[in-house]
Amino acid sequence: MGGTGPGPRLAPTPRTRLRRKRERGSTERRVIDAVLDEGLVCHVAFTDAGTPYAVPMAYARSGDVLYLHGASGNRTLRALADGAPACVTVTLVDGLVLARSAFHHSMNYRSVMLFGSAGRVEGEVEQLAVAAALLDHMVPGRSADARAPTASERRATLMLRFPIEEGTAKIRTGGPLEEPDDLDLAIWAGVLPFELSVGPGVPEPDLPDGVVTPPYVAGSRRRR
């Protein structure tokens, strides 16, 4: 955590050490957190009765914790709450990489893979904080506007904390690699960048008169 180095890192473990293309890997928290904070959906891998599952879920990061949530009866959340080992992956695709050769086609992406086990979020104070974090992860500022969860809504929700302790980021950027012999081919090569726009918002038809349209509905925000 010193001020002179590149910032905090996660310690590498056998399952987070990249075996191939290591230059694409990073255990820097700054890099990992940026991916987690930009993504909206993670895929949670866990095993139940011998079957592996990859389940998409919303999430939010707060400090060293990734929060997951859903209905109390949700099978995935219950398995995780019971301590099932899990892998949580967030993947952002930034563009398509078109090389002269089929072989060197690729994608630009940033992904984070975390390993560990989840625990339950208990108690009103933390549950309300997590509910706010989940909303503000979707739409910054939204938690100040939405009606907060009631006690019965909190009971109907299972909230989990997943530690950001063991994991790694993997990032590809830039144009295609090419075989030297391919460079003279008359084939277009380059990158098709992605841009994701969010909004402008489509209001519910039954909004009461006079409801203020909050600034985050305008849709100027973009993610990639």
Q: Identify the residue among 10, 31, 88, 160 touching a copy of itself (CB under 8 A).
A: 88
Q: Position of tokens 């230059």?
A: 23
Distance CA 102, CA 33 (A): 33
The interface region with a copy of itself, picked from 1-9, 24-32, 94-102, 118-126 by CB under 8 A, is: 94-102
| CB neighbours of residue 208 within 10 Å | 5
Residue 9 Cβ, how far from a copy of itself at the closest point, in Å?
Answer: 21
Distance CA 77, CA 157 (A): 10
Distance CA 197, CA 199 (A): 7
Of residues 7 and 222, the one with the C-beta less far from a copy of itself = 222
Distance CA 129, CA 201 (A): 25
Residue 6 Cβ, how far from a copy of itself at the closest point, in Å?
Answer: 25
The interface region with a copy of itself, picked from 4-12, 25-33, 60-68, 136-144 by CB under 8 A, is: 136-144
Contact set for a copy of itself, span 137-176 (CB under 8 A): 138-139, 142-143, 145-150, 153, 156-157, 175-176
Q: How far, in whole angstroms, is CA 218 from its chain's centroid?
A: 23
Q: Identify the residue among 56, 123, 140, 141 touching a copy of itself (CB under 8 A).
A: 56
